[in-house]
Structure 1
Amino acid sequence: MQQITLAEASQNLPDLIEAALGGEEIIIIKDNQPLVKLTPMSPLKHRRQPGSAKGLITISDDFDEPLEDFKEYME
């Protein structure tokens, strides 16, 4: 864990970002009080796209017909 003052952080932000991306925990302090913890964000999840599987899925014509094994139970 690395603690750095706000003034130092503003001068070295690109280096601090690289360190955080590398797994180092960076705490920015002011007046000896922690203000901010610099950590990498988790990767963004792709939003689902409605209709993206159109044409890839088919349902047979007899989909809703009773199964042969269960016909005796349907009577």
Structure 2
Amino acid sequence: MHESIDPFVKLTPRTLRLLHEEGLTTVEKVVEVYRRNELFSIRNFGTKSLREIDTWFPVKPAKSQIALSIINDR
């Protein structure tokens, strides 16, 4: 898992600049905007940048959260 690595150091300079210009300077802020599906509202933010976020940030729900949502949906 990527939690022990600062994900910002893994981003390309372009993606890093786009996030910083929007004030997204913490992992928590990036994850929050990701989960609200608002990253594409950032000017020039595209699929390549999204792939970087998917790869290096903890944006996927934990397996236990997925299991709980499945149980709660029954």
Higher relative contact order (CA 8 A, sep 6+): 2
Task: Give the structure with the larger helix fraction.
Answer: 2
Task: Tell me the TM-score normalized by structure 2.
Answer: 0.28
Task: Tell me the TM-score normalized by structure 1.
Answer: 0.28
